[in-house]
Structures are given as structure tokens and as C-alpha cells.
A and B are shown apart, each in its own frame.
Chain A
């Protein structure tokens, strides 16, 4: 089975540019999560979707961040405009939400550097 697929693996951009991160969850999974990892703050939940519907976006830092899930097999996280403090590794994860103990399966992450 293919795991969670994220693209790109690395992204380097200049401050003010728009950045779009992409995620393909595991087929059959109905929950999708976006996390951000930094040295200072560790792993932070940004937003999660259940059955393509955003359930909780309270972790999204500010209006510059937006996420969409147009269908069960694709999600995007967009930052516009990007700032140097957005530099981090962004992980997408999916799970089959039948029970609360479903583990999250993570992608390999996108390392974002904003200069």
C-alpha cells in the first residue's frame, strides 16, 4: 500500500511568495491532518479534516494560512504571503476514523525554507 504522499519534499522560496503544499492521503482513510514541526514548538496541529470537511482549524497561525480538501484523495496547505517564520517541516497525516485509537500515518513531510 502506498503511504501518505506529500509534495514537494523541499521548498525554498522568498518572503512574500505564495507556497502550496500538497498531500495525498492513504486510500480509504477518512481523516486528514496537517502538522507543523519546528525546534521551538515541536509538532503542532494546524488543521484536520474528516470526510473532507474541516473540523478544527484553530491551530492555523493566521489568515495567511489556508487549507482545502476538495476530495478524499487530495489536500493542499497554502501560505500567502510567506514569511521567514513559516520555515518549518510540514507533515500531512491520515487515518481511518472509525475509532479514536486509530493511529495517524504520516507522510515524509515538506521542508519549507522562506528566505
Chain B
């Protein structure tokens, strides 16, 4: 079975602060895939990034960066110089070759205040 734990339920930061959202996953599969999704207040779920288990290189996209550490089963997401528009619920998810669907964590609600 696969499981994702997002221990941080809510985070509040002031604009321009850096913030890291934690994600710890469990899977018995040797090949698996990790995802992050964003759910803004409007409610839609927006795909941000995917990473496969063989690629441990960190990735940076603008103010967003992701740190994948297989040794600790973590796939953390950092927003640099946060902005009010980053306020949303962020979900981490995992799936594998043996499964079609994504298993989501409970999400972290991020509030960025001016």
C-alpha cells in the first residue's frame, strides 16, 4: 500500500518569506512517481511537478523548488520569496507502475499574508 504524510496542516508566513512544505511517502514499489498539486481558493487542482524514483536531482522552476531524498522517503517543496498568490492548499501524491491512480496526502494549507 502507498501512503503520503503531510505533517504540516497549516502554515502561515509573511510575504517574501521562504517556506518549505514537507512530504513523506511510503511505498513498497521500487519504481514509483511523486507529484505535487496546488489547490487555490477557487478549488481546482493544478498539477505542479512529477518526479520518478530514479531521478533524485532537485528541480527548480522559478520560485519553486523540489528536494527529493530517497533515503528519507521525502519529497519536499520550497517556495522562495512567497507571494500572496501562493496561498493555497498543496497536495503531495504518489503512484507506481502497479497502480493507475494517485494516492494523495491530506494537504498543507499555506497562507501568505502581506
Decide if A7 is an interface residue (CB 8 Å cutoff). no
Which range holds the interface residue count of chain B? 20 to 34
Given A43-B104, A56-B101, A100:B95 Cβ within 8 A: yes
The interface stretch among A66-74, A77-85, A101-109 is A101-109
Question: Is A42 a contact partner of B101 (Cβ separation < 8 A)?
Answer: no
Which of chain A's residues have a CB closer than 8 A to the CB of B31? 100
Q: Is the Cβ of A101 less than 8 Å from the Cβ of B102?
A: no
**Contact B100–A56 (Cβ < 8 Å):** yes
Q: Which residue of chain B has the shortest Cβ distance to A9 in the bound complex?
A: B43
Residues on A facing B (Cβ under 8 Å): 31, 33, 42-43, 45, 48, 50, 55-56, 89, 91, 93, 97, 100-101, 103-109, 111
What 4 pairs between A and B have smallest CB-CB spacing?
A: A106-B45, A43-B104, A101-B33, A42-B106
